[in-house]
Amino acid sequence: MYSSRITGMGFYVPDNIVTNDDLSKMMDTNDEWIQERTGIQERRWIKEGSDDTTSTMGVKASKIAIERAGLTKDDIDFIIFATLSPDHFFPGSGVLIQDMLDMPNVGALDVRNQCSGFVYSLSIADQFIKTGMYKNILVIGSEYHSGALDKTTRGRNLAVLFGDGAGAAVLSRSEDNSRGILSTHLHSQGEHAEVLTVKAPSIIHWIPAILNAKEEDTSYHPFMDGQKVFKNAIVRFSEAISEGLDANNLTAEDIDMFIPHQANLRITQFVQRRFKLSDDQVYSNIQKYGNTTAASIPIAMCEAWEQGKIKEGDLVVIAAFGSGFTWGSVVIRW
């Protein structure tokens, strides 16, 4: 059986920086509240009038990842695209990216697993490569959150958390089984689906319902029970990491770099303390980008690699938790 290695990574974030002070001009919030609870200092939001969308940002990140893998678009056999903010209700944005990258007839799969989307996507890509079906798979996470956030005081508990951006990785076939993705573990718990959700548009809340929506109807803005999410996140992050380490007979001491989904710096710090990881073993960039959901892991992974913090032979552990609930982990020997 083959193994799969990450051979190229890239990310793209919009130029437009929105600071916590900028937000306090739109809603009743402040820098101290946001930093104390989330660690976020600023995020990128697509500027009104910009051409950026979920799929165009995904394309920009993908071009960098393909080039860094030393490949061309013609070497890519399959596309897996994770987002909770697709350009259209359907078709999924995977096919839009396939078209924009000019990869005629290459299969494109959309993954709808929110903050865990990139972890699920890596796992799917890994299975296709291990079985020999595909050689090079483009895996993308991209989110355009700012378009759907309620930027008034009513939506402040969510609006301050999320940022826009995209990250991409190329997963390639390798014959060296001691390297590459060692394991992936995926989980979900649909009983908590309503704890973090956007209900409309959907078949249940179809267009006439939205057009007639009253000001007080919040079904088309994200809803979150933040404390329930926090409590579940710290438990599931920890379980997913332990599961990945145990499956490979490893311990937390073996981790060279832990790259969590950038949900909240306080969640990351809790997990860091739980596994007694040093600051050098954990990568965080939520301070700059906020929570970019499916894009957060590939952006963080790419940045860490660009800064020389991930080296050949390192043990890299990735874990995510998010709406669904869904969670999972990936253990990689780089």
- Rounded to whole angstroms, the Cα distance separating 114 from 196 reads 10
Least distance from C-beta 47 to ligand ACO, angstroms? 22
Q: Which of 162, 141, 128, 50 is nearest to 94 (CA)?
A: 141
- Which among 105, 107, 46, 113 is positioned nearest to 80, based on CA atoms? 107
For residue 162, give both structure tokens: 């999320």
Minimal distance, residue 261 CB to ligand ACO, in Å? 6
Residue for token digits 């494109």?
108
Nearer to ligand ACO, 38 or 56 (CB): 38
Is 302 an annotated catalytic residue?
no
Q: Nearest approach, Cβ of 270 to ligand ACO (angstroms)?
A: 10
Among 87, 90, 137, 85, CA closest to 112 = 85
The single residue of 20, 115, 136, 145 carrying the catalytic annotation is 115
Smallest gap from residue 325 Cβ to ligand ACO (A): 8
In the annotation, is 115 catalytic? Answer: yes
d(CA 111, CA 93): 10
Q: Which residues contact 308 (CB under 8 A, 6 or more apart)?
A: none
113 classed as catalytic: no
Chain positions contacting ligand ACO, by CB under 6 A: 29, 33, 37-38, 115, 156-157, 160-161, 196, 226-227, 229-230, 233, 263-264, 267, 291, 321-322
Nearer to ligand ACO, 173 or 261 (CB): 261
Contacts of 321 (CB under 8 A, 6+ apart): 115, 116, 232, 233, 236, 237, 240, 261, 263, 327
Closest to ligand ACO by CB, 146 or 264: 264
Nearer to ligand ACO by Cβ, of 264 and 281: the residue is 264
- Taking the complex as a whole, the smallest distance from the CB of residue 224 to ligand ACO amounts, in Å, to 6
Q: Which amino acid is at 64?
A: I
User: Pick the catalytic residue: 20, 136, 261, 302?
Assistant: 261
Q: Of all residues in this chain, which one has the CB nearest to ligand ACO in the complex?
A: 226
Q: Which is nearer to ligand ACO, 174 or 285 (CB)?
A: 285
**Active site amino acids:** 115, 261, 291
